[in-house]
Amino acid sequence: MARWAPRSERRSPRRVPTRLAGGGRRCFRRGFRRGADRILQLRCADRSAEPRVRLDPRRNHRRAAVPDRGGLVAGVAAGALADRYRARRVVLVSQALLVLAFAAFALLPPSLPLFYMAYFMLAVLGAGTMTMTWSRAITGWFVAGRGLALGLSLVGTGLIGALLPSYVGWLVSHYGWQGAYLGLAALPLVLGMPLTFLFFREPEEAGVVGSQAPAVDAIGHSIAQALRTRCFWQMTIAFSVVAVAISGVNVHAVPLLTDRGVTPATAAALAGLIGLAVTAGRLVSGYLLDRIRGPLVAFGMFGLPALACVLLSVAGANVWLCGLAIAVVGLAAGAEHDIAAFFCARYFGRHHYGKIYGLLYTLYGVGAGLGPLLAGWAVERAGDYALALHAASAMFAVAAALILTLRPPPQLERREVAA
């Protein structure tokens, strides 16, 4: 356990189920459920809608911002509901609403405004399957191994994201676009909801209370107290700025690489590295967070992409350098949610975790929605991606500096735990 953690969290593992051998299966189950819901909600609708609504590829960065705007509406509410009614109930209701939402997509008329509206509502209804609900349970079960546990639980997003495009393509080719939406609706109905109902529990629901429960989770800041702390705003600015940079680079990855001189086929292959890098970033960052001081891990994960963006701007058509740079940005994309959840639980406790992380996630979503738009605007102004890459590099550097200068977790938490 890293020395950076409070003493109360370095006690015998008898106090809390922190052994990975005892909780690894839970992490993977939650990761796959969470990954399936999130990918379904944000990535599949546009592909199966193409036979009915033709989308201009040049406006892809605008379409990418739609689900983030929907998530902004419901993020804090989902977190607050998870605090009050437990994450399991919120997830089950949200999964049921996702089933209805995907089934309703099959009835859409050929209207682009209606498609955008439905895509927006899909994110709103699926807000209960976002990171704040799954990570709330993970932070309750794990203390000493919390970083790796979070990383494992979030791996499902990358793995499911790699499998779903083929599944959607098969559905469209065999059953048409309407059948594809019904096939997507079947996934949370047949897989997500039963697994959540049977296996997804928080420590309190599983009867782990009193001396067996993680002591640090019995206390925590209210959302009003968190808003009055400097560290909350440092985190918010850092994660929001990183979100702008990551989403700007990732959404524009293929045109960015072709602008550098890479062939379209090679650019598409290199962009595929992002999914693998996201998965690796979650595992690597989670492993390091349990062993190294948290701000140092975040500094490395956000500082390296600053250099990667500079490398992209000067690499030209060098495939190896471009691939390396894209992979490094993908590592940051994978690490960000893991780091944010870890820091939120460490600095503010778990008593109001859903509300606080929901607000942090909402403000992060502002950056994720703005990133593709700002990158597109920079390209229109400059004529190429050099300006956008330099701006992204500066954003990564600012975020790394903000995280590195975070104060240690408040002494107040340590006194309350000791009491």
**CA–CA dist 256, 260 (Å, integer):** 6
159 vs 329, higher pLDDT: 329
Q: What is the pLDDT of residues 210-254, one digit of tens each?
A: 445 554 445 677 888 888 899 999 999 999 999 999 999 998 988
Tens of pLDDT, residues 147-196: 888 888 878 776 776 677 778 888 888 888 888 889 999 989 998 889 88
More reliable by pLDDT, 292 or 12:
292
Q: What is the pLDDT of residue 15?
A: 39
Average pLDDT value for residue range 136-149: 82
291-315 pLDDT per residue, tens: 999 899 999 999 999 999 999 988 8
Q: Give the fold, CATH level 3, of 21-203.
A: Growth Hormone; Chain: A; (1.20.1250)
CA distance 157 to 140: 21
Residue 357 · residue 344 · CB < 8 Å? yes
**What's the confidence (pLDDT) of residue 151?**
86
- When pLDDT is averaged across residues 403-409 and rounded to a whole number, the result is 88
pLDDT tens digit sequence for 62-91: 555 555 555 666 777 888 788 888 888 888
User: What's the distance, CA 65 to chain centroid?
Assistant: 15
Residue with tokens 């997509």: 105
Could you please report the per-residue DSSP string of 153-200?
HHHHHHHHHHHHHHHHHHHHHHHHHHHHHHHHHHHIIIIIHHHHHHH-
Domain 218-419 coded CATH 2.60.40.1660? no
Q: 21-203 with 218-419: one CATH topology?
A: yes
pLDDT of residue 206: 61
Examine the pLDDT at 5 and tell me if it is beyond 70: no
Domain boundaries, given as residue ranges, for the chain: 21-203, 218-419
Residue 48 clears pLDDT 70, i.e. is over it: no
pLDDT at 27: 45
- Cα–Cα separations (whole angstroms), residue 21 to 18, 27, 65, 111, 206: 9, 10, 39, 51, 18
412 vs 91: CA distance, rounded Å: 32
Average pLDDT value for residue range 359-378: 86
Partner residues linked to 220 by β-bridges: 349
